[in-house]
């Protein structure tokens, strides 16, 4: 998929991604001879009544969509994507009952790695060749992949061209420059603005003894660290033992570069701070709620009078006592909120098991009775959670700055008790500020305020990172290669098929595309 289709643009309602091609033709060849053809329909929605689809991913859908498709009683997800042999797909007679997603993008349901990670999209942007067509040899095979839009209105090239001509004089040369600048697509012979795009790629697999299933021994090095940087540092330091300490420290610093960049390395405690932050970096910080503190502010418009400087103004003992009582109640409220969150998580887990039992997979048959699960959730999940939420209540300030507990009819909730303490303390602080304003000795115009601040955080250890590296004598070093789909200027080379529509190509089994690819392959190789 071209990078132009994987880049979002900030819109009014968030980042918007262009529609991706939703039809893909896969042609398998061996020694230049075609041995199979398939079509992947990325946006095909399997009917809910067909149940579990092992070879398709699950995709969330809205309730309004289910009502529109007359699937009100179906679960809030569907199975998306399918692959068919070419002849079966081409000769499918009745497609009126087929349901398709309105639009599929590179991020799918909102996952940034959707199109890049095969398990996420194996039935949408992936293809599985089971070799069940008596094709037994996998040597020297290659796959040609051709993607297009079934709905020309969603074609991204056409949309970009239409957007261009709304603001510019529709000249082909200018459009070519615009596509080169915006998408880095280099088109040799663009004669029409009413174009549709095809995406093409070829995957070649050559025989490699190292990838056979035969058992073989390999020298593998393992490195473990609290973070990826620590694991890499440990491995490289062990590889170059003469510089072990230096390599380890410098690479470990990579993980902490943001947090220690502002520190002066000449400080005598720099080493201790570095170790402290390195240790801290191996934990995830979890919010611990909030507490209250009384802060002091000075009137910035009041000039300082050094001759008549007043003595520091302290906080009365009774205010500190009430602040301490409020924070004790607030911490109890925070713990109560954590218990509610835990019970909600458990309720969601139970609900998930209930949904699996209501819509069982065809391959599973050992499910508990759904009525028993429902009764258990209502008795042991919902009722205790509702009681816990009612006992907690919610704290909210109104427009005047007064704190209230919601719902207001729960007078015995923790939130109601805390709201009373907050408002009482706010009133007493205001009374104290009034006294200070009347005091002629308070030349600095000090004002006390009650504010929320974050409480101490909880810390959860991160999962350790394991780095596995094969020795230089192995094949790992030659396994990965950079893609060669781009030109040296990082643009994507494109070519034009004149006077042909997508329908024409399908009717002629994309033969003109294949001929064009073969004809210009040598030219593209020379240009790269």
Query: Three-state SS across 20-59?
Result: CCCEEEEEEEECCEEEEEEEEEEEEECCHHHCCCCCCEEE
283: which strand partners?
461
Separation CA 105–CA 318 (nearest Å): 61
* Together in a domain, 314 and 337: yes
* Together in a domain, 101 and 143: yes
* Together in a domain, 107 and 21: yes
* Together in a domain, 205 and 338: no
* Together in a domain, 192 and 45: yes
Give residue 23's domain range.
Answer: 3-210+494-527
* Together in a domain, 229 and 336: no
259: which strand partners?
none
Q: Which of 46-50, 81-85, 160-164, 439-443 shows the lowest mean pLDDT across its residues?
A: 439-443
SS (H, E, C) 460-514: EECCCEEEEEECCCCCHHHHCCCCCCECCCCCEEECCCCCCCHHHHHHCCCHHHH
Confidence at 290, pLDDT banded by 50, 70, 90: very high
pLDDT in tens, 173-183: 677 777 777 77
Q: Which of 435, 459, 483 is the last residue of a domain?
A: 459
DSSP code for 224: E
Domain count of the chain?
3
User: CA distances (Å), 344 to each of 166, 353, 388, in order?
Assistant: 51, 14, 11
Domain-embedded: residue 316: yes
Phi/psi for 284 (5° steps) reads -100, 135
Q: Which residue has the higher pLDDT, 509 or 309?
A: 509
* Together in a domain, 79 and 22: yes
Confidence at 480, pLDDT banded by 50, 70, 90: very low
Domain-embedded: residue 317: yes
Distant-in-sequence, close-in-space partners of 238: CB < 8 Å, separation ≥ 6: 221, 223, 244
Question: pLDDT over 90 for what percent of the chain?
Answer: 28
Q: Which residue has the higher pLDDT, 288 or 62?
A: 288
Q: Which residue has the higher pLDDT, 302 or 32?
A: 32
Q: Write down the pLDDT at residue 476.
A: 43
79: which strand partners?
58
Q: Which of 437, 470, 503 is the last residue of a domain?
A: 470
Q: Which of 459, 483, 508 is the last residue of a domain?
A: 459
Q: How large is the average pLDDT for residues 47-57?
A: 85
pLDDT tops 70 at residue 404: yes
Q: Which of 79-83, 189-193, 321-325 shows the lowest mean pLDDT across its residues?
A: 189-193
* Together in a domain, 521 and 444: no
* Together in a domain, 38 and 168: yes
């Amino acid at each position: 998929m071209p990078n132009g289709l994987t880049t979002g643009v900030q819109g009014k309602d968030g980042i918007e991604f262009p529609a991706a091609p939703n039809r893909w033709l896969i042609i398998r060849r061996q020694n230049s001879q075609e041995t199979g053809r398939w079509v992947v329909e990325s946006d095909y929605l399997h009917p809910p009544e067909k149940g579990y689809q092992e070879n398709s991913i699950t995709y969330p859908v809205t309730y309004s969509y289910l009502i529109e498709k007359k699937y009100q009683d179906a679960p809030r997800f569907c199975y998306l994507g399918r692959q068919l042999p070419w002849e079966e797909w081409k000769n499918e007679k009745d497609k009126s009952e087929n349901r398709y997603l309105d639009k599929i993008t590179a991020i799918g349901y909102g996952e940034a790695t959707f199109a890049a990670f095969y398990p996420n999209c194996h039935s949408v942007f992936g293809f599985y060749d089971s070799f069940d067509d008596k094709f037994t040899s996998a040597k020297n095979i290659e796959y040609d992949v051709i993607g297009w839009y079934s709905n020309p209105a969603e074609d991204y090239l056409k949309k970009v061209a239409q957007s261009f001509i709304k603001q510019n004089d529709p000249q082909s040369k200018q459009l070519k420059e615009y596509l080169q600048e915006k998408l880095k697509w280099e088109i040799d012979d663009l004669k029409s603005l009413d174009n549709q795009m095809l995406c093409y790629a070829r995957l070649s697999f050559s025989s490699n003894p190292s990838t056979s299933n035969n058992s073989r021994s390999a020298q593998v090095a393992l490195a473990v660290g609290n973070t990826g940087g620590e694991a890499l540092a440990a491995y490289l330091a062990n590889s170059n033992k003469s510089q072990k300490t230096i390599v380890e420290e410098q690479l470990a610093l990579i993980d902490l570069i943001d947090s220690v960049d502002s520190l002066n390395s000449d400080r005598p405690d720099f080493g201790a701070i570095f170790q402290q932050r390195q240790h801290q970096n191996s934990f995830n910080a979890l919010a611990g709620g909030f507490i209250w503190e009384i802060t002091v502010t000075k009137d910035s418009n009041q000039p300082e009078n050094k001759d008549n400087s007043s003595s520091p103004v302290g906080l009365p003992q009774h205010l500190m006592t009430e602040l301490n009582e409020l924070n004790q109640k607030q911490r109890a409220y925070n713990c109560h909120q954590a218990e509610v969150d835990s019970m909600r998580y458990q309720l969601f887990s139970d609900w998930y098991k209930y949904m699996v039992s209501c819509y069982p997979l065809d391959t599973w048959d050992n499910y508990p009775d759904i009525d028993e699960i429902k009764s258990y959730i209502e008795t042991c999940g919902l009722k205790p959670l509702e009681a816990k939420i009612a006992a907690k209540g919610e704290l909210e300030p109104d427009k005047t700055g007064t704190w209230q507990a919601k719902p207001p009819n729960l007078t015995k909730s923790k939130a109601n008790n805390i709201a009373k303490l907050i408002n009482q303390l706010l009133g007493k602080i205001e009374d104290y500020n009034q006294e200070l304003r009347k005091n002629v000795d308070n030349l600095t115009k000090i004002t006390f305020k009650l504010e929320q601040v974050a409480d101490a955080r909880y810390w959860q250890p991160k999962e350790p990172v394991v780095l596995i590296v094969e020795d230089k004598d192995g094949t790992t070093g030659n396994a990965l290669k950079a893609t060669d789909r781009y030109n040296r200027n990082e643009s994507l080379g494109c070519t034009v098929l004149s006077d042909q529509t997508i329908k024409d190509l399908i009717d002629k089994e994309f033969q003109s595309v294949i001929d064009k690819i073969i004809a210009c392959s040598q030219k593209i190789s020379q240009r790269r």
